[in-house]
Chain A
């Protein structure tokens, strides 16, 4: 047992390491950041929601930095695109932290976060299961369907166009800025990295080649997560350094092991299982919102 100085509660060190390791393992296996599993897991363990959201961001920063180091060596980071996404993301996360503070004060943080998680987990879970099912049925993988779609999107027609040599694109800077902004705001409120929304958006909306998508999204996630940690420390004082260290160690080690094992497995099957898990989790969120509460009164101030 160790006492967390900011969360003001004792936690079991082994349990936290195990949970963060498991989340890291899953994220390495599937190739997602894992913030959207980590934050609810921490809250489930009794960590106050504001501390879980703010502290989870530091673990996301650690994981994405280790990812970028690997991706840079493979020259698969589009720095120019990453910078644009980050600028949008920074503005978004500043707004997100302000919104977080406001919701906390109004006592509505739990509702908004529950609703967002419900939407997010059910839609991502559904998409993962569908993809896995199609693969199992032997349907063509989605890369073929990308080619069949028109290559020009709204990103190609808007003004302020810029060349992105690494991605081989000549598109407007507005969609990347807007995309970065939304992900930044979501990340600040929900305690997620946002990679699993960002990656599909980069492929389908910006038409970026898949080989640079992962590294570039990690760059944006790193910048946003780092900024959120600093902003939350200053604004809400809810970053717990001791918890952060435990999460970093568990998450980073788990992710590396997961990535190794994942390399030798069929990704589609893993995604199907994870998708099912996310669906179950989202049903839990739905139940909590819909069934008649046992206790009609609640204490205000960040209790989930």
Chain B
């Protein structure tokens, strides 16, 4: 607790994470809300090396309301990407993927943390407006096939991503011995810990912190977080994407070398 306060104090003094940034993906008109919620992250850069097995992101801050009114909501978002959801159909007794529905964008990662159920904190309009639900950011790009229900496709996308650990919900304070979730401390201090699974995309994330009171947004803050490869992971990935032909040839040469060494070592008399 004391250490956390110290980190927070340092972060506030240097002022680095508290940069007032306008939301970049303002597709829908959002009313102007002061971006002055004091918040920061413990790690703005997460590096993926050969020993990477997932990570966790800590967002901390202070409720600016002196009397501690209102509810804090923390959302960690990965970049929006196109996605496809298909429905299984039976063709000649076999289950076949059919009826594809394309989403022009859907969050590749989404975690929302609050102290109580989100619908008790923010109005349905606010949840949709500030995209506090991944389904709110999923943009349909194609017509839904005959007999299909668009909301069912949307729900399926959310359900499947949730099963992969890419969409997470925390709506109550973490239990004893568990760090993941939103914890509030006396004095308005809060801490949100989000588990970033190893299958989460390597990309630019953003952590949004919101203060709601009586269903309305009072204050917000946005902090970018970078997840990037380093070392050999980075070298291999860069080679594979930039000089893909050469990369393929090198892989083949390595395969030949491995086969050659094996044939020599295990040579029969």
Contact = CB atoms under 8 A, between A and B. Distances in A.
Interface of A: 1-3, 5-6, 8-10, 58-59, 61-67, 69-70, 107-108, 110-111, 115, 225-226, 229-234, 237, 239, 241-242, 244-245, 248-249, 252-253, 255-256, 260, 289-293, 295-301
Contacts of A111: 94, 96-97
Contact of A297 (B49, B160, B233, B255): B160
Query: What interface size band does chain B fall in?
Result: 35 or more
B202 A8 contact: yes
A56 B253 CA distance: 15
B135 interface: no
Contacts of A115: 94
Given A6-B236, A107-B97, A292-B95, 5 more contacts: A65-B256, A110-B97, A111-B94, A237-B244, A239-B247
The majority secondary structure among interface residues of chain B is helix
Contacts of B85: 297-300
Contacts of A62: 255-256, 258-259, 262
Nearest to A105: B84
Nearest to A28: B266
Contacts of A69: 259-260, 263
Closest 6 A/B residue pairs (Cβ) = A300-B84, A233-B248, A65-B259, A297-B156, A230-B248, A66-B259
B241 A61 contact: no
15 contacts: A3-B52, A9-B199, A10-B54, A61-B252, A67-B263, A107-B86, A225-B255, A231-B248, A233-B245, A239-B248, A242-B50, A295-B156, A295-B159, A296-B156, A300-B86
B237 interface: yes
A65 B245 contact: no
B254 A252 contact: no
The majority secondary structure among interface residues of chain A is helix
A108 B96 CA distance: 8
Given A5-B236, A233-B245, A290-B95, A295 B160 contact: yes
B210 interface: no
B81 to A, nearest CB: 10
B124 to A, nearest CB: 24
Contacts of B76: none
A222 B261 CA distance: 16
Contacts of A107: 84, 86, 97, 100
B93 interface: yes
A10 B255 contact: no
B202 A59 contact: no
B262 A9 contact: no
